Amino acid sequence: MIPIIVIFIYLAVVLYIGIFAFRKGRSTGEDFFLASRSVGGVVFFLSLFATNMTAFAILGSSGKAYNEGIGVFGLMASSSALVIPLTLFFIGTRLWAHGKRFGHMTQVQFFRSRWECSEIGTVIFALSAAMLVPYIIISVIGGGEILSALSVVMGPDHLPVMEKVVHADGTVVMEAQHYISYEVGAAIVALVVIGNVFFGGMRGAVLVNVFQTILFLCFGAIACAVIGGNLEGGFSAVVEKMADAHSTLLTREKMPLAVFWSYTFIPLSSIMFPHMAIMCFTAKNVTAYKKTVVAYPLAIMALWLPCVFLGAIASADLSIHYADPARDSGRVLMDMLSHHAPVWLAGILGAGIMSAVMGSDCHQILALSTMFTKDVFDYYGGTKKFGEKGTVFVGRAFILLVNAVAYAIAIYKPAGIFDLAITYAFSGFAALAPTMLAALFWKRSTKYGALAATLFVGAAVAGVAFLENRYGPGSAGWQPGKGVVFWALGEGREAVRLLFLSPAGKLSVYGFMPVVPMVFGSAFCVTVASLLTKPPSQATIDKYFPPAMDSGLQVTLSAAQAVPAEAPSGVKAG
């Protein structure tokens, strides 16, 4: 029970931080949702990084490396280290400037003002909210997996006490008994997140993330040193075994070039995630971005490399084995800690992993609440009728609702933790990036271009989900190891597969992951529809593209700091 005691101490600290932030806060919408736009440089970087690092980065990456090898690091971490800082510099700073000048708190508020749209903004909100929910579910799943994995019941022989478990598909396996079940662990995490965000709002989420970022950045180096020193046969022997096992390596044959380049499109989703965009509005001044752009790549390396490496060497560790690797490998990091770290240290390292899981979960929940409150309740007259306190009350009520829905879905573990994010949330938000670029950099873009791109992305995400679930593994007629060809040019071995469902049940378009055609399709839609429709009024264009912008971004940013916030319709400026 020692690891669990350590974890509960950590959770108590997180909950207390939320209560502390509540005492320091004010009863205004801008303070609850944006911490009064007062987040400084170092705190901004630590919180922004934690916002974007979740169970996907910790548990998902190690599980993927367990199945496919250390080459997983090159798929996401290397491209993220380059693309995410660039999006923060070119997009994040401009979002911050417009938010500072005009009082925007969400992307949809910016879009509505920039393109003079109303219901179209509501459509964008609906799609963004629908795609963010799977990401929140991932965090709940990750928290439940961590608490369950660290609470294994040990027998007198110092081995886990096993029991027979029947999965939903009828498979019968022997699994370890746990003091805390997955369902109870997920509920505990959800309740702590509710407590922190409900009381502390953005200030509570930011303060927790400072604490949590320090924890999980320290986790990687310590975990590698401890686990490596306790591996059976020694660290070098396990690494040599991993290198000799061809099946554990992500080889050129297993990772075609088209798939590799597909992964470079996924980090475009970062700036389009509502919780990341809303964090961009919280910075006290533009200098906060300088530290973030420089430090972000280093922090990604410090976090991702140990997690991927530990997942890869676990495949050569005789003490780690799963009857269904695709389903169970998400907990490999926790199992490595249970097998190769002292119980008290496993608790501390488990708290480090838990901090990464909960760091973004707080912001995701708060982002959904902010979007609903500002983009729906406030926009359609709620604040005018009920005042600022009513706005905060609605935001807190929505936090309770979203957590309840996320927990109810997470209980059933609808898909693999890594693939769920890649297939739906990441790909969908990445495909919305051309819409943001058009709003910020193209005067001629219109609300109908944004609508066309949004509808296309929604249809594409739904289409991918339908094909993979209707014709993938477990469906009627599925033939393991063969896949499904929906559309091809030619016949036999010379055929070019344009639309193909791989033997693993993943859709590809001319060899690329769906995110690639989705990004280009979204860009095409926003371009063509904008050229065919009437642009916004000249007054709006001059508002967002003043002559000063032609001389560089710095002039605009300086003006943003000097000009008081001007509230657009439906938005009350702080």
Please state the domain extents for the chain. Answer: 2-431, 434-536
Higher per-residue pLDDT: 93 or 146: 93
Phi-psi category of residue 561: left, alpha or beta, with phi > 0 → left and psi -120 to 50 → alpha = alpha
Closest alpha carbon to 276 in 95, 440, 419, 98: 95
Residue 377, both tokens: 């309740």
How far apart, in whole angstroms, are the C-alpha atoms of residue 343 and residue 345? 5
Stretch (H or E) spanning 447: helix 447-471
83 neighbors 270 (Cβ within 8 angstroms) = yes
Residue-averaged pLDDT of the chain: 79
Reported confidence tier of residue 411, pLDDT bands at 50, 70, 90: confident
What confidence category does residue 155 fall into, taking pLDDT thresholds of 50, 70 and 90? low
- pLDDT value of position 157: 64
* pLDDT of res. 517: 94
The position carrying tokens 């749209």 is: 117
Residue with tokens 């240290």: 345
Which DSSP string do the residues of 379-429 spell out, in sequence order?
TTTHHHHHHHHHHHHHHHHHHHHHHHHHHHHHTT--S-HHHHIIIIIIHHH
Exposed, middle or buried, 553 (CB in 10 Å: 0-12/13-18/19+)?
middle
Least confident of 50-64, 161-175, 330-344: 161-175
416 or 544, higher pLDDT: 544
Percent residues over pLDDT 90 in the chain: 17
**Overall average pLDDT of the 464-476 stretch:** 81
Q: Which two tokens stand for residue 34?
A: 């944006």
What mean pLDDT is predicted for residues 541-545? 91
Specify burial of residue 20 (Cβ count, 10 A radius: 0-12, 13-18, 19+). Answer: middle
End-to-end, the C-alpha distance of the chain in Å comes to 48
- Give me the count of residues in the chain: 574
Nearest to 376 by CA among 555, 125, 142, 194: 125
DSSP state of 537: P
Stretch 208-233: mean pLDDT, rounded? 76
Residue 459 banded pLDDT, cuts 50, 70, 90:
very high
Would you state the pLDDT for residue 455?
95
pTM of the full structure: 0.81
- DSSP per residue over 256-320, as a string? -HHHHHHHTTGGGHHHHSHHHHHHHTTBSSTTHHHHHHHHHHHHHHHHHHHHHHHHHHHTT-TT-
Residue 229 pLDDT more than 90?
no
Please name which of 116, 105, 155, 189 lies closest in space to residue 450, comparing C-alpha atoms. Answer: 116
According to DSSP, the β-strands at 162-166 and 484-489 are unpaired
Task: Supply the CATH classification number for the domain 2-431.
Answer: 1.20.1730.10
Tokens of 326: 């695709």
**Per-residue pLDDT tens digits for 181-200:** 888 888 888 888 888 888 88
pLDDT recorded at residue 567: 45
